Structure 1
Amino acid sequence: MTVRRLRWAAWPVAAVLALAVPAPGAVAAGAPPEATVTVNARAGLAAVPDTGIGVNHAVWDSQLGTDTVADLYHAAGVRTMRYPGGSYGDIYHWKDNTAPGGYVAPGTDFDTFMGGVRRAGAQPIVIANYGTGTPQEAADWVRYANVTKGYGVKYWEIGNELYGNGHYGANWEADNHADKGPAAYAAGVVAYADAMKAADPSVKIGAVLTTPGNWPDGIVGTGDTGTWNQTVLSIAGPHVDFVILHWYPTGATAAEALTKPEQVDDMIYLARDEITRYAGRPLGIALTETNTPVGMDTQPGALFAAETYSSLLENGVFTVDWWDTHNGGTAVSTVAGQTDYGDSGLLSSATCLADGACEPALNTPFAPYYGLRMLSTFARPGDQFVRAGADDPLIDAHAVRRPDGNLAVLLVNKDPAAERAVTLGYAGYTPAAGSQVYTFTNGATSISAAAAGSAFSQTLPPYSLTTLVLHPAAAAARPPAPGQPTATTTDRTATISWPASPAPVAKYEVYRQNGAVSEEWGETASTTLTVGNLVPGTRYTVNVLARDAAGNVSWASPPSTLTTGAPVSSSCTVRLTDQNDWASGFVGGIHVVSAATTGDWTLTFTWPTARQHMTSGWNGTWSQEGATVTVTSSASLASGADVGFVADYGGPNILPTAFTLNGTLCSLG
């Protein structure tokens, strides 16, 4: 049976952020366009988890748990499988394998699912029924899975997209509770977590959040005191172990859809900021559903999958789960010369559409399947992502360093018509000249491999994924890397501390990531460094490296992201509030106080992203140039003045935290 999911999509297009790396050389007549890729092994990102590459599996799918599907997923390196299938999670009852109001295929019970999971070499993530279930039903499931059967199911979500239960208007998620607000859901999560951990204290419980920049993020519902995320994290944060995000970016064209992964850094930064502010403790982040809006079965889907998974995993998300395994076609179109069925499944359902077009044979992999397979070739559990970037907006680059000293580079050519001649440069790593090359091209039905090519130059086919596996030119003696740093900040300084390297070292070096380039902030023999002259209200990502007495340098530590703020005291005080938000724009109110300022005054701030834009304002004269917004007024500031604006945003909406009044940096009130 074909099951289609309702999606709420009302978000504007995001701007593309280009990486700042050297410009390519001149192009000879008839030669492919040139691009330069920089791989920086000093700029460490997150480690690749053993749960990273995930998929969804659903009880309406008669192929659930079959050997054919399990073997395909094993070959693709799938490490996590989610059950019982999106919104079905809130109508599914595991004891009798039923979902009132929905279709359940024969032979899709929990034990059958677990058989497929084990054959694939994966682990499960399970949705406990919040919408029409009870904490006791969920606790019984935990006890059956882990005590009776010994399956060791670690990750459990409490419900699916419960913000879609009608509380904010749109209503696709089953929820029988009289109170459908975020406070009621959060209290329910606490009850579920308590009952499930009583059955098995080792389980990890996840709560559903809205994804920053996506509906209904930022909206305060009727009768609520805060947004969904603020409320859920404040109440349930102390009781859960991770949070759940879903991400279905919009896009009218493949080109537009393929720009959307650039939002991931800001999206995860905002999610972590909310976790810190409202939960008060670290929580893992799982993105358990995603898919592309264009080219679900063709090459754009493969490129989107590889790019999105890489971007999320290098930001420390512990699992990314494609929606889904089988779903059925919706509409036939031609994308980049290939037939696309509008089927969000990784594998063909062999369905025929109303116009007579039929999908390929059952379980034939669509292009995104090979995107995941390429990803598992590129990034393996235990590898560490390092920063990579390109000077061409149609080329994306990611890289990992491996424990054996090898380096792997994933190159994505998003140009559907032209190949790219790419020159590769390396910082903190010297590769041998040759490389193992894996390529997936438009329309291909497999990934090709060749022990050929250069570590320093490659020609990328149009619309392709290419992975290079490189060996070091010479074996390097490296001291162990330091632990992840932490930081405390003021408006212009940061004090960075880190755990000592487990082996003797001569000194530590602290680097700031600036695109694909590292800037050394300083070095010290201790495990603390204070840096100054930073820009207020700015985000920085730093790594620490250790160097021993012989001059050997370690790999980079895990990254730490810090944000400078505003001064503790100043002659002026500013308070910005998001007064009304509709998930693609908001009304901002600014209260300014300064007893020392008389006459005309000018207040200035800078948007943190290129996706934000002021559209109108009041109680002053407003303007925006680039990312900088200015308002001028002559209103008295002795007891405070209020000005306001309307702004649009596309993607995560990071609010500014640095304001200057007549050139003076203000404190925040």
Structure 2
Amino acid sequence: MPKILLRAASVLLLTPLLAPTAAHADPPAPVPVTVPVTVNARAGLAVVPETGIGANHAIWDTTLGAGDTADLLKDAGVQLVRYPGGSYSDIYHWETHTAPGGYVAPNTDFDTFMAGARRTGAVPMITANYGTGTAEEAAGWVEYANVTKGYGVKYWEIGNENYGNGRYGTPWEADNRADKSPAEYARQVVAYADAMKAVDPTIKIGAVLTTPGEWPDAITASGDAGPWNQVVLTNAAAKIDFVILHWYPGATNRTDRIADMLQLAKEQVARYTGRSDIGIAMTEFNTGSSANGATTQPGAVAAADSYAQLLAGGVFSVDWWNVHNGIGAVSQVAGHTDYGDFGLLSSAGCTSDGTVCEPAFNTPFAPYFALQMMSRFVRPGDQFVKATTGDPSVVAHAARRPNGDLAVMLLNTSHDTAHTVSLGYQGFTPSAAAPTGWLHTNGATALSTTPSTTLAPLSMTTFVVKTASNPAGLPGRPGQPVVSAVTGTTATVTWPAATAGSRPISKYEVHNQAGGQLGETPGTTLNLTNLVPNTRYVVNVITRDAGGGTSRPSVALTFTTGNPAPGGCKVTFTDASNWGNGYVGSLDITNLGDPIDGWTLTFTWPRTWQTLGSGWNGTWTQTGQTVTVTNADFNKTVATGATINIGYVGNYSGPNIYPTGFKLNGRVCG
């Protein structure tokens, strides 16, 4: 269920101490500073999928298959629709069209849903009933959908939020099985996959994961071999095609968490399955609340930013919750009435006392226009590229079209300040033609086609910039690179070969998105050296031909180097226990040098949402993001080769990146 989000706007009030006199004129108004926006077309991210922009339908919505609803979703650019609706999926029986314990509206059966999906032009995603269903029931649904009716439904989830079955606390998700462990869920995923693929081997099976940084991620329940994700991925690795995340950001929109959330999810999938071909789908997502723009422009701006980040990070579908949801807590946000409704379209409901009613049925709320802007900004086959800005209140995303043109989406997150931007490019030369695009401002009821480089407060703007040239015969981009043998200072990057253009391929170049080329080779493997320990690298591979022509960049590869080789000291870190927003960190410090008489250990929290709770076996303090611990009397002296143990409680409110880069008396430890 969506969580409440809160966003505060700050207002600066200036009160003069003395009235101005004729001899003292008011100072001139400050000249607004132009915000630079830089697009690096050589810093490639993910390629835009066919199913990126999605939305949820639910069986309590009588209009889920209606023509006017389908047409509105089509105009928003919705490419995937999910059915039968959140937690109802685990009580819904498709053949009888019943959901014991829940409400099933008329005109919401599977065939009606499919008719609406086809009118929208969207791919369907179906959530099979895990909580009160069986593998045989799910296989029957596949047979009806793809054999009897020929619908060709490709994507099938096994359950909804099945970690919410009570294994980690109060349950909200139905689960009739006596064994509610992640191991049992994994066993059932295997059984479901076998039964469903026996009917149609072309379908894709998705398994439910906890979202990194969101409860109950990282918690190990009694009797389990590890947290939910570890157990599910380890035991169902051979049978799944994609994994499922849900994200309701909480107290703030927290779009700064997305990159770490995705990176941790990818690392978990790679670690526990040993596979690189498993996709990620965000099948439930929403940024709003009555306090922070569920139906108004702050929620829309955050939605556009989140969709772009998630798709640029390689998620193949991001599905808004919900098409119609219903009125919630009513408030005033950014000068407009916010209805606390998590839907894209108005349900025309009223508050319980009848004092406030939503606008006419199917009126688009502001987040609808975020999806519409996204569908104009990126199209399937485009490739996201890196974009940066000189002001944190201005967010930029960019993508390269197959024809060479560049699309740039600019979001002004400020509630009350307009910003003028200047666009600059790396690896791209714009033509002299004027850019075209779209604009949506606070309170607007449609996109306009008059974009401006002066960004109004709480606005979404997309420019399409024509390329000066797009020469034929250039080589193709390399395939998705992978990394292996990562140490503190080295790594091996390998990629599938590119297709040659009109000239032979002469070499491949590996570029660091933080700047600089890391190396080149005529082959498809490069050993990187002289890397910085404890550093996250984002790299691309580019093909260069015999005439100097270059390809588009590969999809990005992200990896993090480890600690340096042990020198005078070594620190071994262990997550001793975790409860979803905090953990016990245990540190074994080994002295590999001369005897120590008095010591200080320091490290830095990787993220601002991590803090020190308490510590033991030393005196612990935190200043900014730096943690310092000094010896206790009983462990002041550490002989050569000796090991001492200290520990702490670390708190976090987002993806938990463990600290590295420990220094003992100023020396970096291995």
TM-score by length of 2: 0.91
* 2:533 is the counterpart of 1:536: yes
- 2:139 counterpart residue number: 139
Q: Distance in 1 between matches of 2:667 and 2:30?
A: 55
Mapped contact 2:403–2:470 kept (Cα < 8 A):
no
SS in 1 for 2:236: helix
- The 1:417/1:33 distance shift into structure 2, 3 A limit, reads farther
- The 1:533/1:376 distance shift into structure 2, 3 A limit, reads same
- The 1:240/1:8 distance shift into structure 2, 3 A limit, reads same
- 1:467 counterpart residue number: 462
- 1:313 counterpart residue number: 311
- 2:18 counterpart residue number: none
Residue type at the aligned position of 1:278: Y
* 2:262 is the counterpart of 1:263: no
Q: 1:659 Cα shift?
A: 3.4
* 2:611 is the counterpart of 1:643: no
- The 1:223/1:332 distance shift into structure 2, 3 A limit, reads same
Q: Where do 1:202-281 residues align within 5 Å? A: 202-251=202-251, 256-257=252-253, 260-281=254-275
Q: 1:595 Cα shift?
A: 5.2
- 1:555 counterpart residue number: 552
Larger radius of gyration: 2
Q: Distance in 2 between matches of 1:172 and 1:235?
A: 24
Mapped contact 2:208–2:244 kept (Cα < 8 A):
yes
Q: 1:536 Cα shift?
A: 1.2
SS in 1 for 2:318: strand
Q: Distance in 2 between matches of 1:164 and 1:281?
A: 27
Mapped contact 1:635–1:641 kept (Cα < 8 A):
no
Q: Distance in 1 between matches of 2:293 and 2:404?
A: 36
- 1:72 counterpart residue number: 72
Q: Deviations over 1:12-32 (max 9, x none)?
A: 999xxxxxxxxxxxx993654
Mapped contact 1:585–1:648 kept (Cα < 8 A):
yes
Q: Distance in 1 between matches of 2:497 and 2:100?
A: 56
Q: 1:635 Cα shift?
A: 5.0
- The 1:236/1:570 distance shift into structure 2, 3 A limit, reads farther
Residue type at the aligned position of 2:375: S
What is the RMSD computed on CA atoms of the aligned residues? 2.2
Q: Distance in 2 between matches of 1:154 and 1:509?
A: 37
Select 2:282's aligned residue among 282, 287, 307. 287
- 1:383 counterpart residue number: 382
SS in 2 for 1:439: strand
Q: Distance in 1 between matches of 2:150 and 2:296?
A: 39
Q: Distance in 2 between matches of 1:460 and 1:141?
A: 49
Q: Distance in 2 between matches of 1:8 and 1:180?
A: 24
Mapped contact 1:497–1:528 kept (Cα < 8 A):
yes
Select 1:614's aligned residue among 606, 612, 616. 612
Q: 1:202 Cα shift?
A: 1.1
Q: Where do 1:131-210 residues align within 5 Å? A: 131-210=131-210
Q: 1:570 Cα shift?
A: 5.2
Q: Where do 1:265-664 residues align within 5 Å? A: 265-282=259-276, 283-292=278-287, 293=289, 294-355=292-353, 356-433=355-432, 434-450=434-450, 458-477=453-472, 478-488=474-484, 489-503=486-500, 504-514=504-514, 518-567=515-564, 572-594=569-591, 596-599=593-596, 600-633=598-631, 634-636=636-638, 638-662=641-665
- 1:44 counterpart residue number: 44
Mapped contact 2:404–2:469 kept (Cα < 8 A):
no
Q: 1:519 Cα shift?
A: 2.2
SS in 2 for 1:43: strand
- The 1:227/1:613 distance shift into structure 2, 3 A limit, reads same
Q: 1:415 Cα shift?
A: 0.9
Moved more, 521-530 or 160-169: 521-530
Mapped contact 1:537–1:656 kept (Cα < 8 A):
no
Moved more, 276-285 or 94-103: 276-285
Q: 1:563 Cα shift?
A: 1.5
Moved more, 44-53 or 524-533: 524-533
SS in 2 for 1:152: coil
Q: 1:617 Cα shift?
A: 1.4
For structure 1, which runs of at least 5 residues remain unmatched after alignment? 15-26
Mapped contact 1:413–1:463 kept (Cα < 8 A):
yes
- 1:20 counterpart residue number: none
Q: Distance in 1 between matches of 2:352 and 2:498?
A: 63
Q: 1:66 Cα shift?
A: 0.8
Q: 1:585 Cα shift?
A: 1.8
- 2:105 counterpart residue number: 105
Q: Distance in 1 between matches of 2:268 and 2:524?
A: 28
Mapped contact 1:441–1:462 kept (Cα < 8 A):
yes
- The 1:448/1:595 distance shift into structure 2, 3 A limit, reads closer
Residue type at the aligned position of 1:288: T
Q: Distance in 2 between matches of 1:658 and 1:69?
A: 53
Mapped contact 2:488–2:531 kept (Cα < 8 A):
yes
Q: Distance in 2 between matches of 1:273 and 1:622?
A: 31
TM-score by length of 1: 0.91
Q: Distance in 2 between matches of 1:541 and 1:358?
A: 48
Residue type at the aligned position of 1:540: Y
- 2:11 counterpart residue number: none
Q: Distance in 2 between matches of 1:289 and 1:280?
A: 26
Aligned residues: 635
Mapped contact 1:13–1:650 kept (Cα < 8 A):
no
Q: Distance in 1 between matches of 2:208 and 2:43?
A: 32
**What's the % identity of the aligned pairs?**
57
- 1:18 counterpart residue number: none
Q: Deviations over 1:226-258 (max 9, x none)?
A: 11111111112222111111000112xxxx42x
Q: 1:268 Cα shift?
A: 0.4
- The 1:643/1:133 distance shift into structure 2, 3 A limit, reads same
Moved more, 601-610 or 317-326: 601-610
SS in 2 for 1:125: strand
Mapped contact 2:244–2:283 kept (Cα < 8 A):
yes
Residue type at the aligned position of 2:111: D
Q: 1:482 Cα shift?
A: 2.0
Q: Distance in 2 between matches of 1:59 and 1:437?
A: 37
Residue type at the aligned position of 2:319: D
SS in 1 for 2:237: helix
Mapped contact 2:54–2:320 kept (Cα < 8 A):
yes
Moved more, 376-385 or 289-298: 289-298
Q: Distance in 1 between matches of 2:394 and 2:175?
A: 44
Residue type at the aligned position of 1:271: A
Q: Distance in 2 between matches of 1:213 and 1:185?
A: 21
SS in 2 for 1:188: helix
Q: Deviations over 1:4-59 (max 9, x none)?
A: x4x567x9999xxxxxxxxxxxx993654531111110100000000100000000
Q: Distance in 2 between matches of 1:12 and 1:171?
A: 25
Q: Distance in 1 between matches of 2:6 and 2:665?
A: 34
Q: 1:539 Cα shift?
A: 1.1
Q: 1:109 Cα shift?
A: 0.5
Q: Distance in 2 between matches of 1:494 and 1:623?
A: 35
Q: Deviations over 1:438-496 (max 9, x none)?
A: 1011111100013x76xxxx111111000001101233343222222223322112232
Q: 1:555 Cα shift?
A: 1.2
